[in-house]
Amino acid sequence: MESTKLETLIIEAADNGVVTVTMNRPEKKNAANAVMWDELRETWSSLAVDPDVRAVVMTGAGDAFCSGADLGGQGRDRHQLVSMNLIHQTVEALYSIMVPVIAKVNGVAAGAGMNMALACDLIVASDNARFSEIFARRGLSVDFGGTWILPRLIGLHKAKELAFFADVISAEQAAEFGIVNKVVPDSELDTEVDDWAARLASGPPLALAMTKRMLTLNASNDFKSALEAEGMAQTINFYTSDTKEAVAAFLEKREPEFRGK
């Protein structure tokens, strides 16, 4: 496994095409400072155009996923100096990645940290995980895409409940709200995420990419537009080698080997 360590991130690339991005400020519960915003944006933009990447896992070092923006002491001034435009570019870079992204939530995910997890495609949480749209407790409004993603995920009134009261909820409560896909014992978190990531990495890259994009865009499209997008994507699929390989593998009773072509 190839590993790259930046000032605030650790990036590990496995042979099967799974890339793990670990926020690495455990002494701050992985709170994001200006450097981390920059490194996240650059990393996600880079991964988006890397043909060898088949799936991404997003997680945090230590016992936290991400406690949000670093607002303590000097960090608050630094946060204010970072333009919201750059923050927007950061979440857009994550949200627009075409490969599937799993958030592996191993502890607290609060504020922008929670919304970072929501911007991923799948969320697997440890039973130690906790979630909070904590902004109101800090005198702030919800940001990092939370006002768009959260109501589409759990409904408007539930989203308002989480945003207005800024309560901290458990992983089990997050599952009841419909925020996470799966809650597992902390000791099984790595195994569960590794399994899902490997399954995604072995899937048909082009088909999954188009499915992901359609699911994302069609959340706010009308039915006719959704059907048109599906028709276009399926037409493209039928001309790919991956679809031919899938049919051949089915007829030959073997697992397909997808190459993204």
pLDDT tens digits for 121-135? Answer: 999 999 999 999 999
- Grade residue 226 by pLDDT with cuts at 50, 70 and 90: low
What six digits make up the tokens of 35? 């450097």
State the angle between helix axes of 223-238 and 205-217 in degrees (0 to 180), rounded to the nearest 10.
Answer: 170
Q: What is the pLDDT of residue 1?
A: 74
Q: What is the pLDDT of residue 73?
A: 42
Who wins on pLDDT, 77 or 55? 55
Who wins on pLDDT, 87 or 152? 152
Residue 82 has pLDDT above 90, yes or no: no
Residue 75 has pLDDT above 50, yes or no: no
Region 2-11 average pLDDT: 95
Instruction: Determine the Cα–Cα distance for residues 64 and 27; give it in Å rounded to an integer.
Output: 10
Residue 225 has pLDDT above 80, yes or no: no
Residue 77 has pLDDT above 50, yes or no: no
pLDDT in tens, 228-258: 776 777 778 778 888 788 778 878 888 888 8
Who wins on pLDDT, 223 or 168? 168
Nearest to 169 by CA among 134, 131, 133: 131
* In the block, residue with structure tokens 């458990």: 170
**For residue 99, what are the contacts with CB-CB under 8 A and spacing of at least 6?**
47, 53, 54, 55, 56, 200, 205, 208, 209, 212
Q: What is the pLDDT of residue 246?
A: 77
pLDDT in tens, 163-184: 999 999 999 999 999 999 999 9
Residue 27 has pLDDT above 70, yes or no: yes
Q: What is the pLDDT of residue 63?
A: 96
Q: Among the listed ranges 27-41, 56-70, 84-98, 127-141, which one has the minimum average pLDDT value?
A: 84-98
Region 107-126 average pLDDT: 97
Chain centroid to CA 199: 16
Contact criterion met (CB below 8 Å) for 93 and 84: no
Look up the pTM and report it.
0.87
